[in-house]
């Protein structure tokens, strides 16, 4: 009884911040006096604020947390694979991500066995579904990642540009509804080297993801239902041509083929791009007048649709997972729930991240209104709207490997080193070998 009382007291302290948005916690975080929970967490400024809540969990449960590793996701991934290879899984909770999760096999437990359904029901259903691998809930989502449009209102509201656009295309200049329209606007706005239409992540999984997004919006897909790679379809060719057209028109910086998220963020914040299709985490950065030149004119719109009339939003979540080898799984599950509970999600959402709990959306909109950041309400509305149609990358262990044959070939097509169809055919041939070796494709 006193445990529950302490829980309730601590929870209400934390909820004090939320001014009335508090809800009774019915999840029992348990008592693990004297236990030390070993965790491997993703590091980096935007991720570490949440870890300031760890002492609260320690006070609540009597356990101690030892962070045995804190690295960026790629290094963490490498380390976890080395742990699997050497059979030294001595830790309990690890940071995870939708794209990485399928690779780890049975390293992580099915959290449905550790967390009551009533608690799981509090998460956004689509987000929770994307955290499953082979029907097992191997991760508890922490923040969701789906791309939508940031645009500069000053450009869209400029009368001269509005008139020129109307004259040229016969339609009003407004945030784009389709990828074709986006391409048209990107080329229209471009005035290099002072202003580019946009920039895209041109290498690594970012490039594969961007390609997959447009491929799916065009009605295509990476694999058919028998895991046969089929992205060299017409939808795939159209998707690559979308990138190639804006690249050839010099509507994107020539270096975009080598950009990752940090470069794109820097270019957008420096006022060099007209629109940016990007993850929610940049909202805070772009709207900060000290860091961004476009803070006063930031607009938000839901991602455009492809030729098939659908959105192909590439979605994934950062998450926490619990290892099979963990010597105290209830403590590990309690920790994972605590770091994704209503208060934790509120903390993530206030920083501009897309939360994974349904109740957080209305709560954080209220909070933004009350804190003179009404424009952030628009952002959450635009991003929330795209969640329903968002899809994860194929949840198979081979995805990263397949992605590593897609992006260099797409790059080759964009810079004109290979014809588009040949680049995609080459990638499909390599992907087919990967799927055959894995035994998924006969």
Partner 1 sequence: MTRFFRSPQATPYLLLLPAIAVILAVVLVPLLVSLWTSFTGYNLTKPATLFQWVGLRNYQRVLASSDFWWAFGRTVLFITIALNLELLLGLGLALLVNKITWGQRTLRTIMMFPMMFSPILVGFQFKYLFNDAVGLVNNALFDLGLIREPIAWLVDPILANFAIIFAEVWMSTSVFAILLLAGLMALPKEPLEAARVDGCNPWQVFRHITLPFLMPFIYIAMTIRSLDVARAYDMVRIMTNGGPAGRTELLWTLMTRTGYQNSQMGMANAMGYVSIILSIAFTVFYYRKLTQARTFMGGAQ
| Inter-residue contact 236 to 424 (CB < 8 Å) | yes
CA 438 vs CA 317, 324, 365, 372: distances in Å: 25, 24, 46, 53
Query: Considering the rule CB under 8 A, would residue 257 count as an interface residue with partner 1?
Result: yes
Beta-bridge partners for 223: 229
Closest to partner 1 by CB, 37 vs 435, is: 435
Query: Considering the rule CB under 8 A, would residue 139 count as an interface residue with partner 1?
Result: no
Distance CA 190, CA 249 (A): 9
Distance CA 272, CA 194 (A): 6
Query: Considering the rule CB under 8 A, would residue 404 count as an interface residue with partner 1?
Result: yes
Query: Considering the rule CB under 8 A, would residue 411 count as an interface residue with partner 1?
Result: yes
Closest to partner 1 by CB, 70 vs 358, is: 70
Backbone angles phi, psi at 425, to 5 degrees: -60, -45
Query: Considering the rule CB under 8 A, would residue 429 count as an interface residue with partner 1?
Result: no
Closest to partner 1 by CB, 351 vs 397, is: 397
Span 73-92, contacts to partner 1 by CB under 8 A = 74, 77-78, 81-82, 84-85, 87
Write out the two tokens for 230.
Answer: 């089929």
Backbone angles phi, psi at 150, to 5 degrees: -105, 135
Q: Residue 81 CB, nearest distance to partner 1 (Å)?
A: 5
Among 110, 263, 366, 378, binds partner 1 (CB under 8 A): 263
Please choose, out of 63-71, 163-171, 342-350, 409-417, the segment that lies near partner 1 by the rule CB under 8 A: 409-417
List Cβ neighbours of 23 (8 Å cut-off, separation of 6 or more): 342, 359
Query: Considering the rule CB under 8 A, would residue 266 count as an interface residue with partner 1?
Result: yes
Q: Which helix (H) or strand (E) holds 375?
A: helix 375-387
CA 198 vs CA 106, 152, 242, 254, 264: distances in Å: 41, 11, 13, 11, 9
Query: Considering the rule CB under 8 A, would residue 253 count as an interface residue with partner 1?
Result: yes
Query: Considering the rule CB under 8 A, would residue 272 count as an interface residue with partner 1?
Result: yes
Please choose, out of 160-168, 211-219, 225-233, 407-415, the segment that lies near partner 1 by the rule CB under 8 A: 407-415
Closest to partner 1 by CB, 112 vs 250, is: 250
Closest to partner 1 by CB, 45 vs 118, is: 45
List Cβ neighbours of 124 (8 Å cut-off, separation of 6 or more): 141, 144, 356, 357, 358, 387
Q: Residue 74 CB, nearest distance to partner 1 (Å)?
A: 8
Distance CA 294, CA 108 (A): 42
Among 44, 105, 309, 419, binds partner 1 (CB under 8 A): 105
Among 23, 174, 270, 429, binds partner 1 (CB under 8 A): 270
CA 12 to chain centre: 30
Q: Residue 85 CB, nearest distance to partner 1 (Å)?
A: 5
Residues in contact with partner 1, counted by CB under 8 A, come to a total of 43
Write out the two tokens for 241.
Answer: 């041509």
| Inter-residue contact 148 to 388 (CB < 8 Å) | no
Span 383-402, contacts to partner 1 by CB under 8 A = 397, 400-401
Query: Considering the rule CB under 8 A, would residue 274 count as an interface residue with partner 1?
Result: no
Q: Checking DSSP bridges between strand 36-42 and strand 132-133, what pairing results, if any?
A: unpaired
- Work out whether the CA dihedral 228, 442, 433, 206 comes out positive or negative: positive
Site string for partner 1, 14-53 (x = CB under 8 A): ----------------------------------------
Closest to partner 1 by CB, 258 vs 381, is: 258
Query: Considering the rule CB under 8 A, would residue 196 count as an interface residue with partner 1?
Result: yes
Nearest Cα to Cα of residue 301 among 123, 175, 152, 434: 175
Q: Residue 398 CB, nearest distance to partner 1 (Å)?
A: 9
3-state SS assignment for residue 26: coil
Q: What is the DSSP letter of 250?
A: T
Distance CA 95, CA 67 (A): 11
Distance CA 107, CA 101 (A): 9
Among 30, 43, 192, 219, binds partner 1 (CB under 8 A): 192
Positions in the binding site for partner 1 (CB under 8 A): 74, 77-78, 81-82, 84-85, 87, 103-105, 107, 192-193, 196, 199, 202-204, 253-255, 257-258, 263, 266-267, 270, 272, 397, 400-401, 404, 407-409, 411-412, 414-415, 417-418, 437
């Amino acid at each position: 009884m006193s445990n529950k009382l302490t829980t309730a007291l601590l929870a209400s302290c934390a909820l004090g911040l939320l001014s009335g948005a508090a809800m009774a916690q019915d999840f029992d975080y348990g008592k693990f006096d004297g236990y030390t929970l070993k965790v491997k967490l993703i590091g980096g400024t935007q991720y570490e604020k949440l870890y300031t809540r760890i002492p609260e969990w320690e006070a609540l449960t009597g356990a101690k947390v030892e962070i045995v590793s804190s690295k960026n996701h790629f290094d963490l991934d490498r380390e976890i694979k080395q742990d699997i290879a050497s059979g030294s899984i001595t830790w309990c909770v690890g940071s995870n991500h939708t794209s990485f999760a399928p690779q780890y096999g049975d390293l992580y437990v099915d959290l449905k066995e550790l967390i009551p359904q009533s608690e799981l029901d509090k998460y956004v259903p689509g987000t929770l579904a994307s955290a499953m691998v082979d029907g097992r809930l191997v991760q508890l989502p922490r923040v969701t990642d789906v791309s939508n449009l940031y645009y500069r209102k000053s450009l869209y509201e400029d009368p001269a540009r509005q008139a020129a656009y109307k004259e040229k295309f016969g339609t009003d200049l407004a945030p784009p509804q389709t990828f074709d329209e986006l391409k048209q606007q990107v080329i229209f706005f471009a005035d290099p080297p002072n202003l580019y239409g946009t920039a895209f992540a041109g290498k690594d999984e970012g490039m594969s993801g961007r390609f997959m997004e447009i491929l799916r919006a065009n009605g295509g897909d990476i694999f058919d239902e028998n895991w046969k790679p089929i992205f060299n379809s017409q939808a795939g060719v159209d998707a690559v041509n979308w990138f190639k057209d804006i690249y050839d028109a010099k509507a994107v910086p020539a270096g975009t083929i080598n950009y990752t998220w940090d470069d794109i963020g820097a270019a957008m914040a420096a006022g060099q791009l007209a629109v940016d299709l990007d993850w929610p985490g940049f909202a805070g950065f772009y709207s900060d007048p000290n860091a961004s030149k476009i803070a006063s004119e930031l607009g938000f719109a839901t991602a455009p649709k492809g030729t098939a009339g659908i959105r192909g939003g590439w979605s994934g979540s950062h998450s926490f997972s619990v290892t099979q080898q963990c010597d105290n799984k209830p403590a590990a599950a309690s920790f994972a729930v605590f770091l994704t509970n209503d208060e934790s999600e509120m903390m993530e959402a206030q920083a501009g991240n897309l939360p994974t709990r349904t109740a957080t959306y209305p709560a954080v909109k209220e909070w933004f209104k009350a804190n003179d950041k009404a424009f952030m309400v628009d952002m959450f509305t635009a991003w929330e709207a795209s969640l329903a149609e968002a899809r994860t990358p194929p949840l198979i262990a081979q995805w990263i490997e397949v992605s590593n044959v897609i992006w260099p070939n797409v790059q080759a097509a964009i810079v004109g080193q290979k014809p588009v169809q040949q680049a995609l055919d080459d990638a499909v041939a390599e992907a087919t070998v990967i799927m055959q070796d894995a035994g998924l494709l006969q």
